[in-house]
Amino acid sequence: MSESTGKAGTTHFGYRDVPVAEKQKLVGEVFSSVAGKYDLMNDAMSLGIHRLWKRFFVATSQVRKGDRVLDLAGGTGDIAALLKERVGETGELVLGDINGDMLRVGRDRMTDRGNVRGFEYVQCNAEALPFPDASFDLVTMAFGLRNVTDKDAALREIARVLKPGGQARVLEFSEVQAEWFKPIYDFHSFKVLPKLGSLFAGDADSYQYLAESIRKHPPQAELKAMMEAAGLARCSFRNMSAGIVAIHTGYKV
């Protein structure tokens, strides 16, 4: 199922319908705008607990010393830095991101942290990855899939570049499960978050889009079915924080 719905040739950009060909450019503008304030953005969107989600995401991944790992939408390098501790000196990490500004922030941060060995930085589109089949033991994507125009294509590409037995892991904002919490979450997302974006980053519109993009992202069961349709096996998901986010897992057979 492609994200293109409604009128032919259109897709969602937040709550707006835009031509499919324009979404990548519009999303790129959002992330170029927020690249320097990305941690602030995640703190605002998650009430500060995105760091705990990311640590759990990596800690529960099936990764070993010496593995070759691709972190898509790797952006500012938070996931890659955590993965580096697990793959060790013999492992390889490829940070892939479609946005050059985000990738530069990530590279600079890695250099500042002293992480200069075992990393490769590749500007790439998740819908058409520039890697051979069966290249990676693990592919991760944290808070990036909802911004991809054709999510099905990205999931197929993830499956393609995984080695047999390799694992795909997606960490993404999802559908809140507790009914009592939904109005609170909506108020935070649509009233508080854009104001925080305006106050701290001078960019309310980008933060408004990010809140809307969460609501347009496939909920847990639907994304699980999409991963299965992309060719991944033993797919499952685990809700965290009442379903604000979910970890999705699948394997290459």
Q: How large is the average pLDDT for residues 36-61?
A: 83
Angle between helices 193-201 and 38-46 (to 10 degrees): 160
Task: Give me the CATH code for the 10-178+207-252 domain, please.
Answer: 3.40.50.150
CB atoms within 10 A of CB 52: 12
Q: How large is the average pLDDT for residues 242-249?
A: 96
pLDDT of residue 35: 61
- Higher pLDDT among residues 110 and 251, named by residue: 251
pLDDT of residue 3: 42
Q: How large is the average pLDDT for residues 108-120?
A: 79
pLDDT of residue 13: 67
pLDDT of residue 101: 85
For all residues of the chain together, what is the average pLDDT? 87
Percent of the chain whose predicted confidence (pLDDT) is above 70:
90
- Report the range of poorest mean pLDDT among 15-24, 50-59, 232-241: 15-24
- Report the range of poorest mean pLDDT among 54-58, 214-218, 236-240: 214-218
Write down the domain spans for the chain. 10-178+207-252
Banded pLDDT at 219 (limits 50, 70, 90): very high
pLDDT of residue 206: 77
pLDDT in tens, 57-95: 999 999 999 999 999 998 778 899 999 999 999 999 999
Percent of the chain whose predicted confidence (pLDDT) is above 90:
55
- Higher pLDDT among residues 167 and 113, named by residue: 167
Banded pLDDT at 2 (limits 50, 70, 90): very low
How far lies 32's CA from each of 43, 89, 186, 203, 230, in Å? 18, 32, 25, 11, 29
pLDDT of residue 19: 79
pLDDT in tens, 166-178: 999 999 999 999 9
Residues within the annotated binding site for S-adenosyl-L-methionine?
76, 97, 125-126
Residues within the annotated binding site?
76, 97, 125-126
**Residue 252 pLDDT exceeds 60:** yes
- Checking 107-112 for CB contacts under 8 A at 24+ apart, the result is 107/77, 109/76, 109/77, 109/81, 110/77, 110/80, 110/81
